[in-house]
């Protein structure tokens, strides 16, 4: 799938640039899942990665997407 409705593919850097979480539609796009199917899978608890329900919305941790894709996730901690 393409990024933001363009023909530009998702890259590791662009996924990491999403921040800590993203919406189900974007997560689906990254994983090659259409918007409707992504929401159906989320509602059924069958989305390929963790989905967090926040009120009536769903959010997906970007870290979970990267781990599913086999990308090493380095956690940087800032020390005072």
pLDDT digit string (tens) for 14-58?
Answer: 999 999 999 999 999 999 999 999 999 999 999 999 999 999 999
State the total domains in the chain.
Answer: 1
How far is the CA of 2 from the CAs of 16, 51, 64, 77, 80, in angstroms? 15, 21, 19, 32, 40
pLDDT at position 61:
97
Residue 54: which domain range? 3-68
Is residue 47 assigned to a domain? yes
pLDDT at position 42:
96
**Phi-psi label, residue 49: left if phi above 0, alpha if psi -120 to 50, beta otherwise:** beta
Is residue 73 assigned to a domain? no
DSSP state of 3: G
Is residue 34 assigned to a domain? yes
pLDDT at position 79:
66
> Is residue 64 pLDDT above 60, yes or no?
yes
Is residue 14 assigned to a domain? yes
Is residue 74 assigned to a domain? no
pTM: 0.83
DSSP state of 9: B
| 66-79 tens-digit pLDDT | 999 999 876 666 76
């Amino acid at each position: 799938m393409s990024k933001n409705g363009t023909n530009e593919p998702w890259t590791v850097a662009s996924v990491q640039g999403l921040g800590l979480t993203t919406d189900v539609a974007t997560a689906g796009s990254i994983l090659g899942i259409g918007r409707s199917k992504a929401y159906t899978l989320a509602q059924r608890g069958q989305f390929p990665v963790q989905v967090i329900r926040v009120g009536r919305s769903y959010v997906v941790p970007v870290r979970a997407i990267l781990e599913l894709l086999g990308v090493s996730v380095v956690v940087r901690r800032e020390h005072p």
